[in-house]
Amino acid sequence: MANKIRMGMVGGGSGAFIGAVHRTAAEMTGDIELAAGAFSSDAVASRAFGVELGLQASRSYGTFAEMFAKEANLPQDERIQCVSIVTPNDSHADISCAALAAGFHVICDKPLAGHLEDAIRIEDAVTDSGLLFGLTHTYTGYPLVIEARERIAAGEIGDVRRVAVSYLQDWLSRDEDTKANKQAIWRSDPARTGESGAFADIGTHAFNLVEFTTGLRITEVAAELRTVIPGRAIDDDGAAMFHLSNGASGLLSASQVCSGAVNALRIEIYGDSGSICWAQEEPNTMTIRHRGQPDQVFRPGANVGYLSDAAIAVCRTPAGHPEGYIEAFANLYAGFARAVRDYPAQNGTGCASVADGIATMRFIRAALTSSRNQSAWTKLASG
């Protein structure tokens, strides 16, 4: 339909997991149309894949540079309005900067970049262009994560005292895992994933979830990153103690070698008058506990009167109709599409911001520094 937001994609070619999720999520919004793409570093494969997806051959590009150049020359009501970047981390900066320079808004998979310095380049480009930039920290798209943020902001659990967040997986738990699987190979290659492995890939989700829900900043860490599987060039497991900007303490762990853990992101936030617990694998429940009261189990739903407006706004169905990961992802895309429509107003994209992404990169840097320094407490450098 003519009036959808036109999007170009970079990356996400044949066999890529996250690219397909981005496309489905964008499609699910009913508000975004995939209009162009450069899907692979192999130009021939890239063009073929675009056609396979149903794109016009003329807009199935061989490279992102070609796409940006040619699309910029199309009439304004035909050319893409935004770019979705779903490539390995170390290319995020170059592609983002090129897209922004060509005048396209950017929505980018996490983490923001492979290295802090690249992330800062992106930040500068966003500032210079005045264009929109959204980072897809998926888990903040879940209604109950938004509800947690709203309730904590409203004081429901009082001042935060202690946080526990863990993100554990097992898909890299064996030596061969990083040798056979396309997804795994680049994630364990410093040249493509950047300065960190597990901490960059999933530790940043855990970090972002803490800051998103509590509204606090993680100010310093005492961390230990490890390479459990011999021979890997990068961390595949790690943990940290951390301090929050209000003086609270917390524990964070991120591992891709914990056998039996599938995609186990879990957060518990304890305040002086209550606590909140949420786990990604059962995202349709969130438990709030107050001392001396029955536990309360919250559920999402577009008709659930006890939820905040912000949570209700991202529910598609009435209570009792579970929504999941793709819906959470689609909520990010829906917010981003609205922001594109509203531009040049800048009311937020519904995604993590470039500043949030910079914070995750400073977290990785501080964790690595701490880890190399016998887990000494290390401050996250300020912006």
Subset of residues 304 to 323 that bind its own copies, contact rule: CB under 8 A? 304-306, 316-323
Q: At closest approach, how far in Å is the CB of 31 from its own copies?
A: 10
The DSSP letter of residue 293 is S
Footprint (CB under 8 A) of its own copies, residues 270-289: 270-275, 280-284, 287-289
CB nearer to its own copies: pick between 62 and 274: 274
The minimum distance between CB 117 and its own copies, in angstroms, equals 28
Coil, helix or strand at residue 126: helix
Distance of alpha carbon 201 from alpha carbon 187, whole angstroms: 8
Binding-site member from 295, 355, 372, 381 for its own copies (CB under 8 A): 295
What gap in Å lies between CA 381 and CA 383, rounded to an integer? Answer: 7
Residue of 42, 78, 324, 347 interacting with its own copies (CB under 8 A) = 324
- Tell me the CA distances in angstroms from 60 to 31, 51, 57, 72, 364, one per residue in order: 21, 6, 5, 15, 36
Give, as ranges, the residues between 156 and 185 that touch its own copies (CB under 8 A).
157-158, 161-162, 164, 166, 168-171, 173
Amino acid, single-letter form, for residue 5: I
What SS3 state is found at 303?
coil
Give the number of other Cβ atoms within 10 Å of residue 228's Cβ: 16
- In the complex, minimum distance from the CB of residue 93 to its own copies, in angstroms, rounded to a whole number: 27
Q: In this chain, which stretch among 42-50, 108-116, 264-272, 353-361 interacts with its own copies, using CB under 8 A? A: 264-272
User: Could you tell me the two tokens for 302?
Assistant: 């577009």
Does 382 help bind its own copies (rule: CB under 8 A)?
Answer: no
Told to check if 327 binds its own copies by CB under 8 A, we report: yes
Task: Of 224, 241, 202, give the one whose Cα is nearest residue 374.
Answer: 224
227 binds its own copies (CB under 8 A): no
Per CB under 8 A, the list member of 75, 230, 231, 260 interacting with its own copies is: 260
Q: What H or E segment, with its residue span, contains residue 242?
A: strand 237-244
Residues 114-153 that bind its own copies (CB under 8 A): none
Which 12-71 positions form the footprint of its own copies (CB under 8 A)?
Answer: 17, 20-21, 23-24, 27-28, 30, 53-55
User: Measured between alpha carbons, how far is 175 from 189 in angstroms, rounded to an integer?
Assistant: 14
102 in Cβ contact with 96 (< 8 Å):
no
Smallest distance from the beta carbon of 129 to its own copies, in angstroms? 30
Closest separation in Å from C-beta 27 to its own copies: 6
- Which residue has 């795994």 as its token pair? 184
Distance CA 263, CA 237 (A): 14
- Compute the least distance from the CB of residue 78 to its own copies, in Å: 15
